Chains A and B, each alone.
Chain A
Amino acid sequence: ILNVEQSPQSLHVQEGDSTNFTCSFPSSNFYALHWYRWETAKSPEALFVMTLNGDEKKKGRISATLNTKEGYSYLYIKGSQPEDSATYLCAFNLHDKIIFGKGTRLHILP
């Protein structure tokens, strides 16, 4: 059974502060690791798809790192803004199968 774990489950961050959260996944048979942002009343949208160990990707104030040998990825948000409030999902890609974690619910406090 593929297990994708995300922590913390929920997070409250003051506007302007930086934050990060974790995704852990099986370290064997790795194909790719996805990060998605899911805002209320919308559908999930991809942030990053990462395939190489040591990979680091950045999109604006959001960045992610990948360690396939130990099976974890970090998502970082720098200088949190109200529009960052959302659920952040990671997904483990094993060939054609894509398994999601339960997500980290991020609340930005004004």
Chain B
Amino acid sequence: SQTIHQWPATLVQPVGSPLSLECTVEGTSNPNLYWYRQAAGRGLQLLFYSVGIGQISSEVPQNLSASRPQDRQFILSSKKLLLSDSGFYLCAWRPQPTGELFFGEGSRLTVL
């Protein structure tokens, strides 16, 4: 069966520090991968999605970036965090080309 893991679960970082959130999917190949963020009082905002290794589509221009170095690995990064980067980050996958999303456990980021 397929599983998705993301880590860390909780992160408290100072403004200006770097960020790396990692997501790994097991039990499937060539999935579509997604990063979403829920900021306080807001819905799920699509940040990045990927349909293959090295293929990243960015939805929101900001100081975040994403990479897909392996088929089932999706990484969300920042060189310098802003206060506005605080939120709940969710990684998700789905089998190509259609189907429902399967979400990871989420990572709560607080930038101080």
Do A and B come from the same complex? yes
List chain A residues, Cβ under 8 A from B49. 96-98
Q: How far is the CA of A43 from the CA of B44 in the complex (A)?
A: 12
A100 close to B43 (CB less than 8 A): yes
Task: Please indicate the chain B residues that have their CB under 8 angstroms from the CB of A91 in the complex.
Answer: 101
CB proximity of A35 to chain B, nearest CB, Å: 9
Interface centre among A31, A44, A100 (most CB of B within 10 A): A44
Q: Shortest CB–CB separation between residue A90 and chain B, in angstroms? A: 10
Number of A-B contacts (CB under 8 A): 50
Q: How far is the CB of B36 from chain A (nearest CB, A)?
A: 7
A44 to B98, CA, bound (A): 18
Judged by a CB distance under 8 angstroms, whether B105 is at the interface is yes
A64 contacts the other chain (Cβ, under 8 Å)?
A: no
Residues of A near B45 (CB, < 8 A) are 100
A interface residue numbers (CB < 8 A to B): 31-32, 34, 36, 43-46, 49, 51, 89, 91, 93, 96-103
B interface residues (Cβ-Cβ under 8 A, vs A): 32, 34, 36, 42-46, 49, 51, 57, 59, 90, 97-106
Known: A36-B101, A97-B57. 9 other contacts (CB 8 A): A44-B44, A44-B90, A44-B103, A46-B102, A49-B100, A91-B101, A98-B34, A98-B46, A102-B43
